[in-house]
Amino acid sequence: MKTLRLILGDQLNSKHSWFRTVDDEVTYALFEMRQETDYVRHHIQKVIGFFAAMRHFAEHLTSRGHQVIYYKINDDKNDQDLVENLKKIISEKSIKRFEYIAPDEYRLDKQLTDFCSNLDIETECYSAEHFYTTRAELAMFFKGKKQYLMENFYRDMRRKHDILMVGDQPEGGKWNYDKSNRNKWKGDTPIPPYKYFQNQVSEVVNDIEKAQIKTLGHFKTKTFNYPILRDQALDQLKYFCEHLLIHFGDYQDAMHTDQEFLFHSRLSFAMNLKLISAQDVVKTVLNYYRKNSENIDISQVEGFIRQVIGWREYMRGMYWAFMPEYKSLNTLENTNTLPEFFWTGDTKMNCLKQAITNSLDNGYAHHIQRLMITGNYALLTQIHPDEVDAWYLGIYIDAIEWVQLPNTRGMSQFADGGKIATKPYVSSGSYIHKMSNYCSGCQYNKTKKTGKDACPFNSLYWNFLDDKRPQLESNFRMKMMYSLLNKMDQKQLSEIKEKAKHIIENPNEY
């Protein structure tokens, strides 16, 4: 029976059971489409990376003897729409069966479910064979829960998959070494040079230009530096184990003007395209740790494993538990718009300049830059979560809605009213100073709340707490901050609020 199997751009899993045998009756289809390049304005490197990885994947399948239909972005036969492309192939090739891998995005999942319900041939949906948890398992875990704490989910995952466990107890005696993951990097712990792949992508770049796809950010290096092949992703993982794991936990939250990546793995792009699986990552890291445990502390390893089997899988669970409603939540009723400097990095606030420039140059910022610099600023200035989502979904090379949305709207913007975070991730300049060297190169004074040279984060912070009293004052974890706010002199508070108002209304002056 003639079968058509669809592979989406983030389903490049060469280890999927689909590819175990070669079957002449099976044709695989991959499409570069305006439907995918235009639903948000993406970073130029993101579009390059997706197309380059997809083209390599199609070549890999062909070299293994599989039959592949590949539509490049400018191909005449490409209708630029998933359903139209599929319909045409099904009709022209007299396809009798259509199969696809469950998309991780709600948008595509709905499109394909609707498409299949209108088809009069057999259809089947397969697992991505990438995550630790299936969508059905996630639904079971979250069903009927009043609280959705990541820590509970994470412990469950550790037990279920016997990861860093000794019997039923956590290895090393603690579930979580988060408290030891909060060091400032002062330059005394050397960071080895980054691993770059220098993939040649000029053909892809030309095609993107010819198609006049609107993008954001820069592509200064002219070679694509993230992994686009499984072997490259495995190389990157090996490099992480050998050079970066040793201090991953220590400096997980640190930020520094000279270091764009610090000890972070930069594996998210390869993982989110499914070039390597969560299991590949976890098993490799644990094997390396077992062989080198005299040099590497468990806190480094646990810190990393928590991100992969904890946060990553948990975010996916939350996405599927609450979509599609989640995408329109705005509990704090924020309405402002993102300032222009989010697209240029042209701001006097050094912390924002560093985080945004890293994002524009590399399609990358590490977690704390995303959460405590750009996210913090967006929340303190009360930007509408739709605006914040669109920026995050566009700018990061690893941004796919299933993982971007819960991180941004939930964890960072508290727009879900606390489903993911137990309190808003907001801070004044003191936290930023504690974790980085940004403030020493900034024209603002990190300790001042008012006055021309006062750090904008300080007035914004207290103004935010005051503005959001109705939604936040009863939050147990905010009690201490509200008791400080309540003790604040009224004249001082009104000066602070005046200052914050000016910043919110004139962001590009700062």
For binding to ligand FAD (CB under 6 A), which residues are involved?
A: 264-268, 271-272, 307-308, 311-312, 315, 366-367, 370-371, 375, 392, 396, 398-399, 403-404, 407-408, 411-412
For residue 197, count other CB atoms closer than 10 A to its CB: 15
Distance CA 125, CA 136 (A): 13
Is 444 a binding residue for ligand SF4 by CB under 6 A? The answer is: yes
Which residue's CB is nearer to ligand SF4, number 161 or number 348? 348
Q: Environment class of residue 241 by beta-carbon count within 10 Å: exposed (0-12), middle (13-18) or buried (19+)?
A: buried
Length of the chain measured in residues: 510
Question: What's the min distance (Å) between Cβ of 193 and ligand SF4?
Answer: 27
Question: What's the min distance (Å) between Cβ of 63 and ligand FAD?
Answer: 28
Q: Are strands 122-126 and 26-31 parallel, antiparallel or unpaired?
A: unpaired
Q: Which of 229, 351, 379, 395 binds ligand SF4 (CB under 6 A)?
A: 351
- Contact pattern from residue 446 through residue 485 relative to ligand SF4, giving x for each residue in contact according to CB under 6 A and a dash for the rest: x--------xxx----------------------------
- Tokens 């709340």 correspond to 449
Q: Which of 26, 349, 360, 500 binds ligand SF4 (CB under 6 A)?
A: 349
Per-residue tokens: 461:
């912070």
Q: Calculate ∠ Cα 318-324-328, nearest 5°.
A: 95
Q: Environment class of residue 364 by beta-carbon count within 10 Å: exposed (0-12), middle (13-18) or buried (19+)?
A: buried
Is 355 a binding residue for ligand SF4 by CB under 6 A? The answer is: no
Radius of gyration of the chain (CA): 24
Residues 6+ apart with CB under 8 A from 9: 30, 32, 36, 50, 53, 54, 273
Question: What's the min distance (Å) between Cβ of 335 and ligand FAD?
Answer: 19
Question: What's the min distance (Å) between Cβ of 249 and ligand FAD?
Answer: 10
Run of H or E residues at 377 = helix 376-380
Which residue's CB is nearer to ligand SF4, number 288 or number 457? 457
Q: Please, are residues 245 and 221 in contact by the beta-carbon 8 Å criterion?
A: no
User: By three-state DSSP, how is residue 327 classified?
Assistant: helix
Residues in contact with ligand SF4, total (CB under 6 A)?
14
Distance CA 184, CA 251 (A): 7
Selection from ligand SF4, ligand FAD, none that 446 binds (CB < 5 to 8 A by kind) is ligand SF4
Distance CA 274, CA 57 (A): 11
In 44-169, alpha helices (H): 44-63, 82-92, 106-117, 135-142, 150-160
Which residue's CB is nearer to ligand FAD, number 28 or number 311? 311
Selection from ligand FAD, ligand SF4, none that 366 binds (CB < 5 to 8 A by kind) is ligand FAD
The window from 32-40, 133-141, 347-355, 488-496 that contacts ligand SF4 (CB under 6 A) reads 347-355
Question: What's the min distance (Å) between Cβ of 31 and ligand FAD?
Answer: 22
Q: Which of 208, 439, 460, 478 binds ligand SF4 (CB under 6 A)?
A: 439
Question: What's the min distance (Å) between Cβ of 398 and ligand FAD?
Answer: 4
Which residue's CB is nearer to ligand FAD, number 78 or number 307? 307
Residues that bind ligand SF4 (CB under 6 A): 349-351, 429, 432-433, 438-439, 442, 444, 446, 455-457
